Amino acid sequence: MKLSELQERIFTTLGDPDGTLYGVDSMLMQMAIETAHEAVLPRYAKPAIYEVTGDGSTTEIALPTDVYEVWAVYDTDDGIFLPKAALTPGVSWGADFLSGNAWIAYPYGSITLSDAPGEDLVIHYGAYWTVPSAADDDLEIPQSLIIPVIFYAASMCMNPEMTKAASENTHLLRTDSGNPIQNPFQETSRYFYKLFAQALARVPSNEAIYK
């Protein structure tokens, strides 16, 4: 699917196929799509690997800039996955592990091992999805994430009208009876977010594979 088609589907979801009803400009649309791509990461990030050869002296390994979350570290020489350090008080790094090594996702953008590796490692991690920026760019996200992205972006696109209504309603007099909706755009945004959460819950998560 192209970015242009995704944008059309978002406008259709808003009930605004011409893109003129809610004041959604190109900048807001792009921000909504970028934010939607990040919103799906806790459920399903892009599976990626990074191969590195240890030098026997360095314990800190810098990761690629697209890393979102490190899932596992595989020692190719020993044929085992290294355990993640539990940071248990009174326990030395790697002391209680068969491999004699362990890792932790620290500092930001890196992992640190308890012992400097002298062998090849394969780091399995979840990466950020590439966000398309040109109309004819292809979407990188899988088919299962398209509907969640559409609903999340639609929720974000209600922000201008929602904010405008909130400002105008500050001066309203509460003379009507019952419990009327004072900001229908806010309710619409919440509705789209609810649809997003429901759609995302149906997507198989990375956790089933790596956690």
Whether residue 210 lies inside any domain: the answer is no
**Same structural domain for residues 26 and 123?**
no
Tell me how far apart the alpha carbons of residues 75 and 62 are, in angstroms, rounded to a whole number: 17
User: What is the domain count for the chain?
Assistant: 2
Do residues 135 and 197 both lie within one domain?
A: yes
Q: Does residue 60 share a domain with residue 39?
A: no
| Domain span holding position 90 | 46-127
Q: Work out the pLDDT band at 161, boundaries 50, 70, 90.
A: low
Q: Residues 69, 92: one domain?
A: yes
Does some domain include residue 193? Answer: yes
Q: What is the mean pLDDT of the chain?
A: 86
Residue 116: pLDDT band by 50, 70, 90 thresholds?
A: confident
Contacts of residue 6, Cβ cutoff 8 Å, sequence gap at least 6: 33, 132, 139, 146, 149, 150
In a domain, 176, yes or no: no
**pLDDT score, position 174:** 56
Q: Convert the pLDDT of each residue in 59-92 to its tens digit.
A: 999 999 999 999 999 999 889 999 888 777 776 6
Q: Note whether 162 and 97 are same-domain residues.
A: no
27 and 75 both lie in a single domain: no
SS3 208: helix
Query: Residue 34 above 70 pLDDT?
Result: yes
